[in-house]
Chain A
C-alpha cells in the first residue's frame, strides 16, 4: 500500500465505514493516520467528556456527521441528578466557529438548549439531519428554529425527549420551499400542532418515508396524511380513536390498503381497540411493530393483531399480552429477532402478566431470536436453562424481574445457574442485564464464558468483592459496567486499575466503595475522571476516607477534568 498515492489509499478507505475499522486503520502508520483523518466524515463519541470539540475539529476537518452521548445509562432511571452535565452547547458553539460543514447531529442523553438549536440551524447551510434521543432542556421554540432555518432538512427525529411544549406553531415554521423531508418523528411532543400545516407539509414531501405523529393528531388527519403519503415505510400513529361505523373510518380502511410499503408501525398513543381491524391488511408486511406506548390495547387485542404479523422481526409490546399471547407470537412470528416486553404496571405485582412461561415459548418458537428485553414477575432456573438450549444467538439479553431479589419461586434457589446457562451457550453475547436473587457464582460464570461481553448491568446482586473481580478479570471486551446496590467495595475497585482504561465507563452506586479508594484510584490513574456524586450532603465534603460513596462514575478521558460540573459532583 505504500506505493500507492494517497488518493488511491483514500479511495480504498471509502469502503471502510464502521467506526471500529476506521479507528483501527488510523493506527497502522503515520501516513494512514493522516489519510484517514482527512477523509473521515462520520465520528462517534460515546462519552462527550472523553474529548473536547476543539480536538475533534482539529483532527477531522472533513467532519459531516457527529454522534455524541452524554449522561450515563442509569440517568434513564433517575439515578443521575438533574444538571449533572452532558451539555451540547460547547460542541455546537465550537463547530459553528469552525469551517466544519456539519450535516448530521445525533445526540443521546444530552442537555440541549433552544439557543443551541438556533445556532445549529443557522450555522450549517447543508445541515440535513437532527436526531435527539432521551435529551432534555429545549422547547418547541428550538424545534421551530430547526424547521425554519434548515433549508435542506431531511431528518428531524425526536425520540423520548423531555420537551417543554410552547403549543407549537413549530410545524408551521417549515417554509413552503422545504420539500426535502425524509423522516419526521415528533411522537414525544405533548402539545397541539397545526393539523393543516402538517397535511400541507406531508403533501409537499415526496421523499417522506418515516412519519411518527404525536397523540394530538386525530384519526381523520391520519387518513388525510396517508392519502398524500402512501409511500411511507415507517408510520407512528398518534390518536387512533373513532367510531368504526363512521365514514372517516371507512375512508381510512380504504387508504390503509394502499399503503403497502409500510414495514414499521408504532404509536397508538390513544386507541380504540375496535378500530384495530383496519390495520390488519398492512400487518402481513410488517417487520417492526412497537405497541409499547399503547396501554389502551388489552391482551386479546394484541394477540389478534400479532396473528397477522408473520414477517415480524422486531416486536416491542406491553406485558398485558400475557404468556398465552407470547405463545401466539411464538407460533406466528418465525422471523422474530428482537423482543421487548415492557411492564404496564411496574408497581403492582398483583397481576402476573408475563412469567418465565412466555419466555420459554418464545425461545422455542423463534429460532432467530438474538435480542431480548423482558420485564416479568418471576423467572426460574429451569426456564433459563431451556431458553439457553433453544437460543444460542443472543447478542443482547436483558432480563428484569420486577422484584429485584426474587429467587426461583419453584426451587427457592438463586438464579445463578440459569444465567450461567445463558452465557455459556450464547458465545456472541455483547450486552447482559441481570436481576433476581444472585450470588457471586453468577459472576464466576460470566467471567468464564461471556468473552464477548461489552456491557453489563447489575443490581442487588452478589455476595462479595469476588463477584466484581470475576467480571473484571474474565470479560476482556468489557466497555461499560454499571452496578447498583451490590456488596462490591474497595478491594474489587482497586485490584486492576489499568482495566478501566480499556473501558468507556464504570458506574457504582449504593455499593461499598469508600472515598479513600476513589481518591487512590484517581491519583494513580490520571487518564480517568473519577466523579463522586453526592447530593445529600451539599458542600460538606468532609473527606473522611472511610466514608462510603453514594454514587461514583468514572470514565477514561484524554482531556482531564471537565469544567462544567455542578456543585454536588466532586472530581477527584
Chain B
C-alpha cells in the first residue's frame, strides 16, 4: 500500500481484499495512518487472541473479531489522547478547580518560586512571566529565537516534570495538555543541556 506524502490510499488488487485499508488505528492526530512497511506500528491494533487469554465458557461460540485490540487500550486513555474524545463539550470548564500552582526551580538560584499555570494562555506568556520573575537570567525561548543575552549572558532551558515523573522540554505539546500534565518546572542551564543534544526546539506554532 503506497503512502505518498502520508495520504491514505485504497488499492484494490484484482480480487484481493484490502486488509490494510481496513486496519483500524488509534493514532495521534497528524500521524499518517499507514507506514511503508505495513507492519504493526504504534497505535495499531494487535490480534485479539494475542493480547487476551480467551477463556470462554462451555458454549464457546468463538468471538471472531475482525479487528485487533490495541495493547494500549488496556492502559488509561491519557496515554494516547485522541482528538475529540471523550465526546464531552466544555470539559475544560467542568474540570477540577481552576488553579494550578507549580514550583519553579532555577539552576543556581537559592530558592524556588511558584506560578499558577491557569493564569496564562500560552507558552509565550508563561516564559515572559518567568523571565520577569527571574529577571537576571535569560530563558532560551524557542518561540522567539531572536532573544539575545541580557545581563550575564547565561541561557536557560525551560523543562518540566510531567505526571509520569519524566522531565520534558517545555513547548512540545499543546498548551492545555501541558497545563494538565505539568507538576513542576525547572529552568536548566543551557550549558548542561548541550550535552543532551537538545539543539532544536519543538515544532509548534506560537499562536498557541
Interface residues of A (CB under 8 A from B): 74, 76-79, 134, 160, 292-293, 295-296, 318, 342-350, 375, 400, 402-407, 412-414, 433, 437, 439-440, 457, 459-460, 463-464, 484-487, 489-490, 512, 514, 536-537, 544, 546-548
Contacts and interface: CB of A to CB of B under 8 A. Distances in A.
A404 B88 CA distance: 13
A80 to B, nearest CB: 9
Contacts of B30: 536
A548 B9 contact: yes
Given A79-B83, A512-B22, A347 B88 contact: no
Nearest to A517: B10
5 contacts: A344-B95, A346-B86, A375-B88, A459-B85, A536-B30
Contact of A375 (B11, B82, B86): B86
Nearest to B67: A463
B66 A343 contact: no
A400 B87 contact: yes
Interface of B: 7-11, 21-22, 24, 26, 30, 33, 52, 54, 63, 65-67, 69-70, 73, 76-78, 81-91, 93-97, 180
A363 B194 CA distance: 60
B88 A346 contact: yes
Given A77-B85, A405-B70, A547-B9, A292 B76 contact: no
B184 to A, nearest CB: 18
Contacts of B7: 537, 544, 547-548
B69 A437 contact: yes
A404 B85 contact: yes
B77 A487 contact: no
Given A77-B89, A439-B66, A487-B67, A512 B95 contact: no
A567 B96 CA distance: 38
Contacts, number: 130
Contacts of B88: 77, 342-343, 346, 375, 400
B54 A295 contact: no
Contacts of B26: 404-405, 460, 485
Contacts of B83: 78-79
Nearest to A270: B97
A459 B85 CA distance: 9
B78 to A, nearest CB: 4
A345 B92 CA distance: 9
Contact of B21 (A350, A412, A512): A512
A161 to B, nearest CB: 10
Nearest to A373: B88
A343 B94 CA distance: 8
Nearest to B181: A347
B66 A296 contact: no
Contacts of B77: 347, 349, 402-404
B156 to A, nearest CB: 30
A548 B10 contact: yes
Given A344-B94, A344-B96, A405-B26, 10 more contacts: A295-B96, A344-B95, A346-B86, A346-B95, A348-B78, A375-B86, A486-B24, A490-B10, A546-B9, A548-B8
A433 B24 CA distance: 20
A110 B91 CA distance: 20
A375 B89 CA distance: 12
B180 to A, nearest CB: 7
B86 to A, nearest CB: 5
Contacts of A457: 87
A160 B10 contact: no
A403 B90 CA distance: 19
B67 A347 contact: no
Nearest to A463: B66
A485 B83 CA distance: 11
B69 to A, nearest CB: 7
A463 B64 CA distance: 10
Nearest to B57: A411
Contacts of B52: 407, 412
B8 to A, nearest CB: 4
B9 A343 contact: no
Contacts of B94: 292-293, 295, 318, 342-344
Of B69, B81, B93, B180, chain A has the most CB atoms within 10 Å of the CB of B93
A345 B24 contact: no
A414 B118 CA distance: 40
A265 B96 CA distance: 21
A346 B67 contact: no
Nearest to B70: A405
A78 B90 CA distance: 10
Contacts of A79: 83-84
Given A400-B86, A405-B69, A487-B24, A347 B10 contact: no
A74 B84 contact: yes
B163 to A, nearest CB: 8
A428 to B, nearest CB: 24
A279 B151 CA distance: 58
B104 to A, nearest CB: 24
B93 A403 contact: no
Given A78-B83, A403-B73, A412-B54, A295 B22 contact: no
A322 to B, nearest CB: 16
Contacts of A460: 24, 26
Contacts of A484: 84
Nearest to B177: A347
Nearest to B22: A487
A514 B8 CA distance: 9
B8 A547 contact: yes
A407 B52 CA distance: 11
Contacts of B8: 547-548
B96 A414 contact: no
A489 B22 contact: yes
Given A404-B85, A460-B24, A546 B93 contact: no
A460 B43 CA distance: 13
Nearest to A540: B5
A345 B86 CA distance: 10
Nearest to A413: B63
B84 A349 contact: no
A462 to B, nearest CB: 8
A386 B70 CA distance: 29
Contacts of A348: 76, 78
A436 to B, nearest CB: 10
A296 B91 contact: no
A67 to B, nearest CB: 20
Nearest to B8: A548
Given A344-B96, A460-B26, A487-B67, A546 B87 contact: no
A325 to B, nearest CB: 17
A299 to B, nearest CB: 14
B3 to A, nearest CB: 11
Contacts of B91: 342-343, 346
Contacts of B24: 460, 485-487
Across the A-B interface, give the 8 residue pairs with the lowest CB-CB distance, nearest first. A463-B66, A349-B76, A77-B84, A548-B8, A76-B89, A347-B78, A487-B22, A79-B84
A421 to B, nearest CB: 17
